[in-house]
Amino acid sequence: MELLHDIRTLYHLAFTRQRGDTHQERLEHFYKGQAAGYDSFRKRLLHGRAPLIAEIEKLARPGSVWIDMGAGTGFNLELGEHLRRSCS
């Protein structure tokens, strides 16, 4: 099933034309066909994400601030929950 999600994600990244009048509509159209397998695909594509956040967690001090630009599906926020505890 994961392979099917990967193929679908790659297809939509490469071949789907953008539609929509607003930025929100274009984003929703862009991700609609990839949504089911997006986090899994990105996790394997960006294999350094979890180790990077783990390293940042080691450096976090109370009062530190975590800023995530373009949180997308919120996957980084789930990983960053550990950071929140470290920075509190």
Q: What is the DSSP string of 9-77?
A: HHHHHHHPPP--SSHHHHHHHHHHTTGGGHHHHHHHHTTTHHHHHHHHHHH--TT-----TT-TTSHHH
The pLDDT value recorded for residue 50 is 78
Full pLDDT tens readout for the chain, 88 residues: 788 888 888 888 888 888 999 999 998 888 888 888 888 888 888 888 778 878 887 887 878 777 777 666 677 777 666 666 666 6
Cα three-residue angle 61-67-69, rounded to 5 degrees: 155
pTM as predicted: 0.55
CA end-to-end span of the chain: 40
